[in-house]
Amino acid sequence: MNLTTAFAASAEQNAGKTAVFWGDSEYSYERLRTQSCWLAARLHEDFGVRPHDRVGLWLKNCPEFISAIFGVLQAGGVVVPINNFLKPAEVTYILSDAGANVLIAEAVTADEQAQLAAQLPELKFFKIEEFAEAPALPTVEPASARRTESDLAFIIYTSGTTGRPKGAMLSHGNLLCNVASCRQVLEAVALDRFVVLLPMFHSFMLCVGVMLPMTTGCSVVLIKSLHPVKNVVQEIICRQATILPAIPQFFRALANAHVPPDIPLRICISGAAPLPVEILKEFNDELPIPLIEGYGLSEASPVVAMNPIKGPWKASSIGVPVPGVEVTVQSDAGEMLPPGQVGEICVRGGNVMQGYWNQPEETAKALRDGWLLTGDVGYRDGDGYFFITDRKKDMLLVNGINVYPREIEEVIYQFAGVKEAAVVGQPDPRKGEQPVAFVALNEGVTLDAKALLHFIRSKLADYKVPRRVTILPALPRNATGKILKTALREL
């Protein structure tokens, strides 16, 4: 069993059924399957893709995103989904690190592709507009599609504390395991329709918004635009969607959108960032639909825990481990801690990654005796519910996307006159957190904050750009010289 055969079986059983609702268009399972078979043949014959070859996928949400995933997997390749908000320099690093010589993209990114081609002369481009040429009947399936559960399926790049992204290696088995867990927890059946409004490059959507529905015979209601929210609500009602996975900030907007009582949703899942109690309260006051918080990370394919859909639910809790996944709280020495005691959240199960691509040292830090060290700190209560109290790693969550201050700081240090730099997160009711920067300057230097922000924006994705720069005579440090970010957060 692999992801390709799981999708093929689902597509065969549901050939004429709508797999994806996309605005006024409907894509049947047969159409997606035809496109994926055609792409697999093209990648194999025209692009030289062979088993284990990595193929980049740099797309905004669209039905072809799904066809592209299964086309790459069917060709025996490994999918490298790339955040479509990244700038060419960031994409160049990921493609180079993954050793990907083929990139599936849109024609509208021609300027960015030219920049990539200049840095990566071996890179070949497949434009998704070519899917229109796909024949009516599937091409013969390449022999290279015979993958096993232990074969690599995805490399998901997650920002690293060292300032460079790390590629979490997820096998076919990792994803199949997590899909089975989520299907059981959500009690998903073929009649369900999943709303997909978050970016599909995100591991949360790859599993819950793509792999789960496509291998279960469900339908996906793919939202073209999140603004205004009332249009999303109309789409949900029109398409009779039943399951909505999203981030906390969207559920706040939904709570304030005066949703009509006939909305067909049976469950909402909050993931990718902690769900503030205030948002949960606002939602529960306005809507009769269960909003349950879950928890995961890319290295775990990604879902680890979720509140039971029939309750009981506990505010601020990430719930209980999903089936097939073990969660413990451990000390730095690896001791299992009892209920109520705070330590590092650790995860074990078939969903846990194989390691980080070409980074054995980082892999060794993340995996200890079969346990994935999440970097999140928390505790378990007497009922077996888990709570996260802090993050061990110095990470921000902006709209549910990981942002590491170190990466931003490295860019700030490149700006003339900067002596010291530190980035911390400022709570934001809409985005969860926003990066803010503190800098100290070399003697006699004056700084144009707008020029600094423009410089950062030229190097990094917009969501990583600090919303404010504060100049200090010197950054606060402890006795060993380490910058005191707690003091900066208070500022």
Residue 428 sits in a domain whose CATH number is: 3.30.300.30
Q: Are residues 234 and 362 in the same domain?
A: yes
Q: Are residues 46 and 175 in the same domain?
A: yes
Dist. CA 260–CA 287, nearest whole Å: 9
Q: Are residues 363 and 420 in the same domain?
A: no
pLDDT at residue number 142: 60
Dist. CA 424–CA 433, nearest whole Å: 9
Judging by beta carbons within 10 Å of its beta carbon (0-12, 13-18, 19+), is residue 479 exposed, middle or buried?
Answer: exposed
Dist. CA 183–CA 178, nearest whole Å: 8
pLDDT at residue number 78: 98
Coil, strand, or helix at residue 344?
Answer: strand
385 within some domain: no
Helix, strand and coil percent figures for the chain, each rounded to 5: 35, 25, 40
Mean pLDDT in consecutive groups of 10 residues from the start of the chain, 491 residues: 94 98 97 94 94 96 97 96 92 97 92 95 95 69 72 89 81 98 97 96 95 98 92 96 93 91 94 84 92 95 96 92 98 96 96 97 96 94 92 81 85 90 92 94 92 96 95 81 82 90
Largest Cα–Cα separation, the chain:
72
Task: Tell me how crowded residue 478 is: count the other CB atoms within 10 A of its CB.
Answer: 10
Range of the domain at 52: 3-380
312 within some domain: yes
Dist. CA 54–CA 155, nearest whole Å: 8
Dist. CA 77–CA 67, nearest whole Å: 14
Quote the tokens at residue 214.
Answer: 């496509």
463 within some domain: yes
How many domains does one find in the chain? 2
Q: Where are any strands of DSSP class E within 231-301?
A: 243-246, 267-270, 291-296
Task: Tell me how crowded residue 416 is: count the other CB atoms within 10 A of its CB.
Answer: 11
Q: Are residues 315 and 454 in the same domain?
A: no
- Specify which residues 311 forms β-bridges with: none
Dist. CA 62–CA 14, nearest whole Å: 20
* Domain end point (choices 380, 411, 443): 380
pLDDT at residue number 478: 66
Dist. CA 17–CA 31, nearest whole Å: 10
Q: Which residue has the tokens 């789960």?
A: 212
Using alpha carbons only, give the angle 387, 322, 246 rounded to the nearest 5 degrees. 75
Q: Are residues 463 and 355 in the same domain?
A: no
Coil, strand, or helix at residue 244?
Answer: strand
pLDDT at residue number 136: 66
* Domain end point (choices 380, 412, 436): 380
pLDDT at residue number 404: 80
pLDDT at residue number 16: 97
174 within some domain: yes
391 within some domain: no
Q: Are residues 435 and 469 in the same domain?
A: yes
